[in-house]
Amino acid sequence: MYAWALRPLLFAVPPDVAHSLALAALGPLEHGPRLRAVVRGAMAPPRDDRLVVRAMGLEFATPVGLAAGFDKNALRPRALSALGFAHVEIGTVTLVAQEANPRPNLFRLSADRALVNRLGFPNEGAAAVAQRLRAARGEVGVPVGVSIGKSRVVPIDDIDAVVADYTSAFDAVRDVADFVVVNVSSPNTAGLRTMQAKEHARALLRPIAARAAGCPPLLVKVSPDMEDGQLEDLLAVVDETGLSGVVATNTTIRRMGLACSARRVESIGEGGLSGAPLRARALEVVRRTRARLGSKPVIIGVGGVERAEHAMALVRAGANLLQLYTGFVYEGPGAPGRIARGLADMVQRDGARSITELVGVG
């Protein structure tokens, strides 16, 4: 029904309006426990031990989660878990509340099953989001991650201020997050990706990792646009600081091989591209990350996941867990359940006892 009825209606309005409508539509589900129980029974896959992932001291009923960006302010975590997401990542949140970058800031490339956004971490602030999550504690039913980023008002060239900003955001959310993701890879905050450079990453991640001491687990989200040597340098910092893992990947600023016209792409301008065009590079970054870090750290694969085949490709490349956002926009609320059921079928066909046996074997 979504593909032929609901999606055309949502795609008939600007994408930021469609997003607001989707969040509003999830309101009754968020605040109605009985409705959530009914929807969970219809949408979420039944428990299947072959899909359970135990990582970072947490249990995930399936590997399929929702990426940061959809629910920036923790407005709908209970509703999203009821749809079948086995974990939900909130944010990105910043210490200082901030508005979105000027509109238009969100675009569809429907021919490519992609989105371009230059939102720039709009959120109500880490403390306000943490308070909302605290109120929902125990009712979400799945692990909840929180992505933290740099406040726009903090100058990127003042490394001490940047570190203080991130660590304060971490302190604000640490007691309500099952895991925290340090976002240093969004292309929509000026200069942020410079924090992926080895010395800057070390200066930032060391103090946050020391604060976390593994509780909550701490991950870093990486860009797909780094050269292999740059990625290697960042992963060396991940290794030496003892982070729990990596989220691979964020959106890309590249525009190669798109079906949309060059004129359309040029008219959109800057921003991070997500969805199907990111799929191949996300696989490569996951594969390189697993090869560099070995078997212990957790890798969350993100980029172009729409179907079970895409999800399994990330698992075989080395991902323990995976996330979707653009695929959720194009495939609709049934996507997490369909992907999970498809993964169960693929595990069975491969003769594996658990999906975890397939991590990094392809």
Count the neighbouring beta carbons within 10 Å of the beta carbon of residue 254.
14
Distances (CA, A) of 289 to 23, 122, 248, 284, 318: 34, 29, 8, 8, 8
Identify whether the C-beta of residue 178 lies closer than 8 Å to the C-beta of residue 58.
Answer: yes
The residues annotated as belonging to the active site are 186
Could you write out the DSSP letters of every residue in 157-193? T-HHHHHHHHHHHHHHHTTT-SEEEEE---TTSTTGG
C-alpha–C-alpha distance, residues 266 and 278, integer Å: 18
Token reading at 155: 């100058």
Identify whether the C-beta of residue 131 lies closer than 8 Å to the C-beta of residue 73.
Answer: no
Amino acid type, 260: C
Within the chain, strands assigned E span 53-55, 58-60, 64-66, 87-93, 106-109, 114-117, 144-148, 179-183, 218-222, 245-248, 272-275, 298-302, 321-324
Token reading at 292: 């560099």
On the 0-12 / 13-18 / 19+ scale of CB atoms within 10 A, 228 is: exposed
On the 0-12 / 13-18 / 19+ scale of CB atoms within 10 A, 256 is: exposed
DSSP 195: G
- β-bridge mates for residue 181, sequence order: 147, 219
